[in-house]
Amino acid sequence: MRILVTGGLGAVGPFVVNELRGRGHDVWVTDLCHHYDPQYVRADVSEHRQLARVMERLSFDYVYHLAAEFGRWNGEDYYETLWRTNVIGTKNLLRLQEKHRFRMVFFSSSEVYGDWPGVMREDVMDSHAIRQLNDYAMTKWVGEMQVMNSGAQFGTETVRVRLFNIYGPGEPYSNYRSVNCLFCYRALHDLPYTVYLDHHRSSTYVTDAAATLANIVDNFIPGEVYNVGSTEYHDIKSISDFILRYLGKDDSRVTYRDAEPFTTRDKRIDVSKAMRDLGHSPRVLLSEGLARTLEWMKKYYAGSAAEPRVVSIAETLEPAEMADLLA
């Protein structure tokens, strides 16, 4: 199959690209910067002309639409870019899907469930009015509605996936990154950070997610939606506690607070559909995944307390290292 991965240089994209290529697919990549991969084409999904140029040059069987602005606080501080990329970008791709008829995998987020108090099953939004708690969550739910509307009106074929707290090596640090990345980097460099005690997650190691996502092309069911996450359920303090123990450090630089406003408190997930249809089988325990992430950070930042340079994930892992992680 010829497959395009938008946002293929992000925190998840390179692992999906390598998994798909490892299975013999002809995989192309788009993202915002120029890049050395011979099957890479620079394109901003929020610019229709740039995306259309890719589709005119190449014909794709599938598009994995990963390109997106990520995170609650990033969405607050850079809301123009968030809405332009996540909503207009998705609309641009849907218009091209209507024309070129490729199948799409749309990447949503666990944040669409808002503060749903029960187990997060895929059909929750079918029967309950959910209030998304931040702009990032809203854009992801808008994207899902755009996908469903396009399918109903134009017969486009898309599978939606809701990712739950993906983490792992290769995620460059910034103040806007995932909680696992933030805790690892700040603990490693003796920087202060805040732990919210009344929050629970299902953290998903990136290679576990990539394997499941690559399986979609083998059992593509148009209109389906899947939770992709870990079967481990833990509080956020557990992440911090493990990291500090692993590094042999105390919590003197940690501030503890009850909860963070406008952020989902508890993400208890049901992944039975993904297990049934996609062979989803999380293998990497949180403790093992955090250890791998910390070892990668130690190597990449070489113990420096300086702020990291701006890079794409594809620059942070050599091909052999990527293959080892995917093994």
* Alpha-carbon span 293 to 29, nearest angstrom: 25
Q: State how beta strands 103-109 and 193-196 pair.
A: unpaired
**pLDDT in the model for residue 314:** 43
Considering only CA atoms, give the Rg of the chain: 19
The whole-angstrom distance between residue 69's C-alpha and the CA centroid of its chain comes to 10
**pLDDT in the model for residue 167:** 97
* Alpha-carbon span 291 to 131, nearest angstrom: 35
Q: Classify residue 120 by its DSSP letter.
A: B
pLDDT, averaged in runs of 10, over the chain (327 residues): 97 97 98 97 98 97 97 94 98 98 98 95 95 96 98 98 96 93 96 94 96 98 98 95 98 94 88 98 97 96 51 42 46
Q: Classify residue 85 by its DSSP letter.
A: I
pTM: 0.91
* Alpha-carbon span 308 to 257, nearest angstrom: 27
Residue 281, φ and ψ in degrees, nearest 5:
-150, 80
* Alpha-carbon span 240 to 231, nearest angstrom: 19
Residue 46's nearest CA partner among 28, 62, 65, 59 is: 65
* Alpha-carbon span 192 to 176, nearest angstrom: 15
* Alpha-carbon span 113 to 123, nearest angstrom: 10
**pLDDT in the model for residue 223:** 98
